[in-house]
Amino acid sequence: MSYNKAYEPVRGDVPQSDYEVIDSDPYYARVISYFRPSDIAAWGASTAAFPLGLAAWERLEPVAGAFKKPGKVPAPALRAATLMGFFGGFYLAYIRSSRRFLGWSENAREVKKDRYEIKKLLSEEKLPYHQNESVLDDRMKDIANRNSQYSFTALFILPWFNMAYHPYHGVDIKKYYETREGEESWGFNLKPYEEIAAKYTKTVE
């Protein structure tokens, strides 16, 4: 199913943000590629903290009982704790990165990176969000976006990521046609977005 001018999905405004909105529903791989070193550090710290915490707990409260010599934590328990720390740390890093896309955290570095990437794609006459590469029809893209948008806020309850290319990202593409300070050196020549989109648009009667 494809949408036409008489039948298009309605999108509300992105929630209030303290910083510039980059993308209200970024593709999962993009969120990961925007991890900062501090996100990687938090991920690593979480991975190490869980098994270390388990070992420390055994020293404070030995399984054998009070005033008994602490025993060795079983290897399966340490492996399970490490796995929990690994996934917990990944979720934490993913949430931190996602917040920057929505402008809920300081994101100057990410804004510059995003503008470079999108401008480069537009200069190559490609759609900035790769929606033409999706096997989903317009209706399914709409549903995919509604299911994944803001899902990172409940990631520890229900892990859910945007794994669909769609055009619903909460930003006006016109902002990429502005030239901000320092962008002159990039040397991109952007064609009008309408011309680029027309190359990939399927006519609907």
8-62 pLDDT, tens digit each? 666 777 778 899 999 999 999 999 999 999 999 999 999 999 999 999 988 888 8
Number of Cβ atoms within 10 Å of the Cβ of 198: 9
Residue 69's pLDDT is what?
78
Decide which of 64 and 3 is more confident. Answer: 64
Number of Cβ atoms within 10 Å of the Cβ of 90: 19
Question: How deeply is 173 buried, as exposed, middle or buried, from its count of CB atoms within 10 A (0-12, 13-18, 19+)?
Answer: middle
Query: Where does the pLDDT of residue 138 fall: very low under 50, low under 70, confident under 90, or very high at 90 and above?
Result: confident
Query: Where does the pLDDT of residue 204 fall: very low under 50, low under 70, confident under 90, or very high at 90 and above?
Result: very low
- What's the whole-number mean pLDDT along residues 61-73? 76
Structure tokens at 160: 């859910």
Q: What is the H or E stretch that residue 21 is in?
A: none
Torsion of CA 121, 126, 131, 136, to 10 degrees: -150
Nearest 5°: phi and psi at 182?
90, -10
Indicate if the pLDDT at residue 6 is higher than 90: no
147-176 pLDDT, tens digit each? 999 999 999 999 999 999 999 999 999 999
Query: Where does the pLDDT of residue 121 fall: very low under 50, low under 70, confident under 90, or very high at 90 and above?
Result: very high
DSSP letter, residue 67: T
d(CA 145, CA 81): 33
Residue 8's pLDDT is what?
65
Decide which of 125 and 71 is more confident. Answer: 125
Widest Cα–Cα separation across the chain: 80
48, 61 contact by CB (below 8 A): no
Query: Where does the pLDDT of residue 72 fall: very low under 50, low under 70, confident under 90, or very high at 90 and above?
Result: confident
> Which of 28, 11, 34, 21 lies closest to 162, judged by CA?
28
3, 138 contact by CB (below 8 A): yes
Residue with token string 């929630």: 15
| pTM value surpassing 0.95 | no
The percent of the chain in helix, strand and coil, each rounded to the nearest 5, is 50, 0, 45
| Identity of residue 169 | H
Indicate if the pLDDT at residue 2 is higher than 60: no
84-103 pLDDT, tens digit each? 999 999 999 999 999 999 99
Residue 111's pLDDT is what?
98
d(CA 155, CA 113): 25
Every domain of the chain and the residues it spans: 28-200
